[in-house]
Amino acid sequence: MTQTKGLEGIVAATSKISSIIDGQLTYGGYTIDDLAEHATFEEIVFLLWNDRLPKQEELDQLAKALVDEAHVDDAVLETLKKAPKTANAMAAIRTAVSQLALYDEASEDMSREANYAKAIKLQAQIATLVTAYARIKKGLEPVAPKAGLSYAANFLYMLNGEEPTEVAEKAFNQALVLHADHELNASTFTARVCVATLSDIYSGVTAAMGALKGPLHGGANEAVMKMLVEIGSVEKVEEYVHNKIENKEKIMGFGHRVYKDGDPRAKHLQEMSRQLTAQIGEPQWYEMSIKIDEIMQAEKGLKPNVDFYSASTYHALGLDTELFTPIFAVSRMSGWLAHILEQYSDNRLIRPRADYIGETHRTYVSINER
């Protein structure tokens, strides 16, 4: 057997959902640059789940459903309210996502129609859970979505209790588009492995959230923001970064196993960071990021990935650092669900082998002779 650590370079599935070819990310054949510039997140959801962009009537129906299906059972919200104040946000929301299955009578219905309906519910409800958790932690009551607002605008509305500015809505929509799918990343592969056993869709996305929680996947932008706060000013960047490099410590938000010439999503988030930090009068977060970027490229030959500039972008939108990874889940839910539906449509149990490197030819020795 040929062994590849971390399955690097191994093709484990065929898919129509997204591709990364020659450093270019596409969703269903549309480049990420094209979609980030022009598409709404609702259009992306439809594209990922149906392999085509929606017509106006279809888009309107989906947008309405994402508002109509956002209600979460009070028992699930009660779980969030009872979570310890010290709980990890992703752990709390992952638990709530799993609990959603208990209040869905169709949770075990494996028909295509039922799973598509559950996909809409999950995409709607993840926004409710994240915003509700954020408000509960501040002693506030959850806010229901408002009909007529986009998915991006409704998320910010449910989070803050007021409608966002046009600039904030556009920036958040673009962030959702950029994070929606990324081929067989760790959380998506986890989701597919889970549902390949013919486990239910709720189990699949819960498993994916567990994988996303890790700092080498979804948690990287949290680490980036904590680093920026620790540095404090542009003047301190050079010393900080060089000390990290000399001590062989990792600077989060740089490099990517798939992209060798830079993450194509990063430039969009970089521009968002520039605009939003200037708008709120805190350009230092962008300026520090730029300085770190320049040093890392010059010293290590590493370019920023999607997590690096998303940190200062989310901060400028007024989002708490602990929400960065849950917000990643809000967007990536669309991709997870697309891959789960695709896995169900042509399923085969995913069962790789391991290259055994332990001892051999041992014989049992009774305990009094050991």
| Residues noted as catalytic | 256, 307
* Cα 286 from Cα 316, distance rounded (Å): 10
What residues form DSSP beta bridges with 24? 21
The residue type of 367 is I
Rounded to 5°, the CA angle 91-93-95 comes to 70
* Cα 164 from Cα 20, distance rounded (Å): 33
Distance of CA 43 to the CA centre of its chain: 18
Distance of CA 308 to the CA centre of its chain: 14
The residue type of 7 is L
Burial of 88 (0-12, 13-18, 19+ CB in 10 A): middle
Q: Please give the full DSSP string across 50-63, using - where no structure is assigned.
A: HSSPPPHHHHHHHH
Mapping DSSP to helix (H, G, I), strand (E, B) and coil, where does residue 31 land? strand
User: What's the sign of the alpha-carbon dihedral 154, 160, 164, 168?
Assistant: negative
Q: Please give the full DSSP string across 223-276, using - where no structure is assigned.
A: HHHHHHHHH-SGGGHHHHHHHHHHTT---TTB--SS-SS--TTHHHHHHHHHHH
Find tokens 């904030």 and name the residue.
168
CA within 13 Å, CB half, 68: 9
CA distances from 255 to 28, 263, 270 (A): 25, 8, 15
- Residue 23, Ramachandran bin (φ over 0: left; ψ between -120 and 50: alpha; else beta): left
Mapping DSSP to helix (H, G, I), strand (E, B) and coil, where does residue 29 land? coil
Cβ atoms < 10 Å from Cβ of 250: 13
